């Protein structure tokens, strides 16, 4: 059986495994190459440096929920329930990541701290999806006209950050967090609406 071809995706999967096993401080490119049974030169042909590899794996991790959220953002129908569904899906995805594998989550928090540009691009993508829902709500006459949909979308992002910013991950398992999330969503949706 010929060996599987060495794709960027296989390298990133192996990198996540190595990070999980050795932690972000100790994981090296040599460890990744060893886990794949290839030379470290083969890894460097895909990712030019250890920093580039760490950035790519961070990007992949942040992107994991993009597709699901983007499907919600682009779905048909009224904007208010769509925005609520989007915020609910985001909160669920974040809680899953933080709760299913807290050590890997902590590892990615370290990586996110090292790759602030990647995190900012991720946040810009998220805010872009909210802006799309806001604009469609305004077009449909559900939401009041806004001067700057991006600024309003950023305000929605900021107003809901207790339910997506990893800084609050410790609170996501607390009793009453679902109710608190619902009350903030109600407030935000009323704030956007033409007819509260």
Note the residues at the interface with a second copy (CB under 8 A). 144, 151-152, 154-156, 158-162, 165, 167, 179-180, 183-184, 186-194, 196
Start-to-end C-alpha separation, the chain: 64
Buried b (16+ CB within 10 A) or exposed e, 133-161: bbbbbbeeebbeebeebeebbbbbbeebe
Partner residues linked to 193 by β-bridges: 143
Q: How far is the CB of 124 from a second copy (least distance, A)?
A: 14
Nearer to a second copy, 52 or 151 (CB): 151
CA atoms within 13 A on the CB side of 159: 19
Q: How far is the CB of 151 from a second copy (least distance, A)?
A: 5
Nearer to a second copy, 103 or 158 (CB): 158
Q: How far is the CB of 55 from a second copy (least distance, A)?
A: 21
8 Å CB contact between 111 and 57: yes
Q: How far is the CB of 60 from a second copy (least distance, A)?
A: 25
Nearer to a second copy, 92 or 167 (CB): 167
């Amino acid at each position: 059986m010929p060996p599987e071809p060495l794709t960027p995706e296989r390298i990133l999967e192996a990198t996540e495994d190595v990070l999980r096993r050795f932690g972000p401080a100790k994981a090296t490119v040599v460890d990744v190459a060893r886990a794949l049974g290839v030379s470290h030169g083969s890894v460097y042909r895909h990712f030019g440096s250890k920093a580039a590899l760490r950035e790519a794996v961070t990007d992949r991790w942040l992107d994991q929920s993009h597709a699901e959220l983007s499907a919600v953002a682009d779905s048909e129908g009224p904007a208010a329930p769509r925005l609520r569904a989007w915020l609910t899906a985001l909160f669920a995805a974040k809680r899953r990541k933080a709760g299913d594998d807290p050590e890997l989550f902590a590892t990615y928090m370290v990586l996110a701290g090292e790759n602030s540009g990647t995190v900012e691009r991720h946040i810009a993508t998220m805010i872009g999806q909210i802006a799309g829902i806001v604009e469609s709500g305004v077009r449909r006459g559900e939401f009041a006209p806004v001067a700057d949909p991006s600024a309003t979308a950023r305000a929605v992002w900021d107003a809901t950050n207790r339910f997506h910013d990893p800084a609050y991950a410790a609170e996501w398992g607390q009793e009453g967090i679902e109710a608190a999330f619902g009350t903030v969503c109600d407030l935000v949706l009323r704030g956007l609406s033409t007819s509260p």
